[in-house]
A and B are shown apart, each in its own frame.
Chain A
């Protein structure tokens, strides 16, 4: 069944918008740059391409519009009529026709201009031709602008039409305005139709769906119909008329007994009679609504007669079937919801019967019926032949049934003893063992980090004996072997061990010292020996070290002391002074006073006298040293006078070292460092 859904129609653009779209597309997707220096064929091709491209775009779009809009002759007459009612068939066809013409015109334009372009001799001429072609195409579209606008309107409205399947089971609700059709609709389906107190609240068809006997039924709510001649009807009423005319549906004609819709029963009856031709061949039910306001029995005579008349008409039109009289006239009240379901069921039932009947009559049904055939063999005589079951099987079945009830399962036992968490079944209950007592034995699974089951063996005692024998043998051998081994070399004596340890310690120290010495002066401070704060280089120390090596240190200490500077130097000075003046006056020279002041014990607390020769400087005697000093002074006198930079003056070797003057600052300036 084709679902009539007009939502898939392409959007029809406005005339102007249409032109814009196509032209901008042309501009975007075809090449845009061309110079008059190009070869003429290239120029022609360039412009021809543009014209053809534009034409093909127009063609495609217009073709799509024409294809998408439904052709009124091809669709179901219900929709055809509905569309006609809504949009005027002629206007619709004309519009589409115009679109088609436009499409053809544009094709022709393009052909003509392409032919002309083939012989264009300059850039300017080709360009003008292209401009003309495109311009004419656009004019064509501009001319059909109103049609396009109309088609767009139609499309928008069509998209909102309810999707009614004309071939599906349908129930149609009709009657005067305000009788309660929409409220009934709301009751039986999930549709949410507007219900108001003014007439013509429902302005178009509405579809809802309801179920009955596992089948889906469409329920169509129509706008109210007034009793008027056919020609005078407006579009809204025409919608309902169309629906009534074309859809094969069950019809529920609504009557308002109370007259609260604003129309009397007389008027409603009149309407009924005027449209009763539309009800032919359709199951019809007359529904009296609003019984809460006015029950059927409470009607006055005239109205009642009218209603009965309608009922008889209805039954007549149904061909006088065996259906009960009640099927044609039902009462209900949508407000109190009494009788609503009854009405729905009656309508559905009637419709279903009718449809089934029709199907049965058609040829297709016969094929279906053939499939549901149970073949029964033709009885050849009157003898009864029931099913034959052997006795044993019957007995066994009976026994099994009895057993099932009588047997006690493990699960039952479990439940008796407290349930799943409390009772744990003994898995060894049915084990076959040599001694029944062993069934409940508890035994460990591991022992001392070994799995007991890895050792279980009926012959384990034998094996153990063998193993122990082996072990004994092995141990004996091992002892013998041990004795041989001991012969190789004696152990060290305790003194030897001590000596060895001392050697090791000494070696470690040596290595450490070497490592320290190995590091260059850059990474370690080098303090010359004369500034020996730790007093590492004393004669006592030397004495101690020598004695630890096993040598008597006294002679060495003597010798060291005798050669020490303080002693030696002093002795010499004294003897020189005593002999007499040497003629050399030493600056700041040593006077007797100074000599006396200096005692042996304070030999080191006073600094050396000026001209004293320090062994290691390289002077023969103090006279030579003084001479050297004088020479040095004289040499630098001139320079000092000239105020030139001397050796003692502070020198900055590099005024702008790179490492201080390079690099950026994250914040701040770098004009000074």
Chain B
């Protein structure tokens, strides 16, 4: 018994689920459920279908998948014990790494959001507070004062001179 991966969505196929399709060139396609099977029959490319793992990996949204070992090993009880223990740890590490990857993706968004919120606040404050109120109130939600350099006061002499 082996857990296979669905050809379309790359999810695990447990025993007793799904359909296997063998093509004339002897390539086997396994599907976890009829949704994937029907998509396959429609000749859709999983790399273009948003919810599949293939798309997500291709577009850098998720991390790479686990691999299959093809070399059979002679049975050894100790090795087997260690393997079983190791699987749990490896699983945890993998999980952490995947979570990190996603968090990395989301980081720039937080900063962007903050900037946008601030801008919004500046611009649209007049919708909820009248300008009078703002001026009279404590500057908790005031628009930051922008210092503009005023043009130098032209003296009378200067004006006469210009004429």
Residue of A nearest to B79 (CB): A458
Interface stretch, picked from A119-127, A238-246, A297-305, A443-451, is A443-451
Interface stretch, picked from A104-112, A165-173, A496-504, is A496-504
Tell yes or no: B132 within 8 A of A by CB: yes
Contact A434 B76 (CB under 8 A): yes
Interface code B41-55, partner A: CB below 8 Å = 1, 0 otherwise? Answer: 000000000000000
Contact B83 A456 (CB under 8 A): yes
A390 nearest CB across to chain B (Å) = 44
User: Which of the residues A455, A491, A548 comes within 8 Å of B83, measured between beta carbons?
Assistant: A455
Interface code B112-130, partner A: CB below 8 Å = 1, 0 otherwise? Answer: 0011011011001101111
- Given A441-B75, A467-B90, A467-B93, verify A550-B111 contact (CB < 8 Å): no
Tell yes or no: B27 within 8 A of A by CB: no
Q: With a 10 A CB-CB cut-off, give which of B75, B88, B90 has the most chain A CB atoms.
A: B75
Residue of A nearest to B137 (CB): A550
Tell yes or no: A551 within 8 A of B by CB: yes
Tell yes or no: A579 within 8 A of B by CB: no
Chain A interface residue count, CB cutoff 8 Å, equals 53
Contact B129 A433 (CB under 8 A): no
Contact A453 B133 (CB under 8 A): no
A437 nearest CB across to chain B (Å) = 8
A606 nearest CB across to chain B (Å) = 38
Q: With a 10 A CB-CB cut-off, give which of A450, A456, A468 has the most chain B CB atoms.
A: A456
- B145: A residues at CB distance < 8 A: none
Tell yes or no: A492 within 8 A of B by CB: yes
- B114: A residues at CB distance < 8 A: 489-492
Contact B87 A492 (CB under 8 A): no
- B2: A residues at CB distance < 8 A: 445, 451, 453
Contact B141 A460 (CB under 8 A): no
A429 nearest CB across to chain B (Å) = 13
- B75: A residues at CB distance < 8 A: 428, 431, 433, 438, 441
- B12: A residues at CB distance < 8 A: 449
Contact B133 A500 (CB under 8 A): no
Contact A458 B76 (CB under 8 A): yes
Tell yes or no: A485 within 8 A of B by CB: yes
- A506: B residues at CB distance < 8 A: 124, 127-128
Contact B111 A455 (CB under 8 A): no
* Interface members, chain A 434-474 (any B CB < 8 Å): 434-435, 438, 441, 443-458, 460-461, 463-464, 467-468, 471, 474
Task: Give Cα A495–Cα B90 distance, bound, in whole angstroms.
Answer: 46
Q: With a 10 A CB-CB cut-off, give which of B80, B97, B128, B133 has the most chain A CB atoms.
A: B128
A379 nearest CB across to chain B (Å) = 64
Contact B96 A471 (CB under 8 A): yes
- A435: B residues at CB distance < 8 A: 77
Residue of A nearest to B134 (CB): A550
- If A455-B87, A457-B73, A457-B83 are given as contacts, then 13 extra A-B residue pairs at C-beta distance below 8 Å, sorted by A number, are A448-B91, A456-B83, A457-B79, A467-B93, A474-B100, A490-B114, A492-B117, A500-B120, A502-B127, A502-B128, A503-B127, A550-B129, A551-B130
Give the 6 A-B CB pairs with smallest separation, nearest first.
Answer: A550-B133, A549-B130, A506-B127, A489-B114, A502-B128, A503-B124
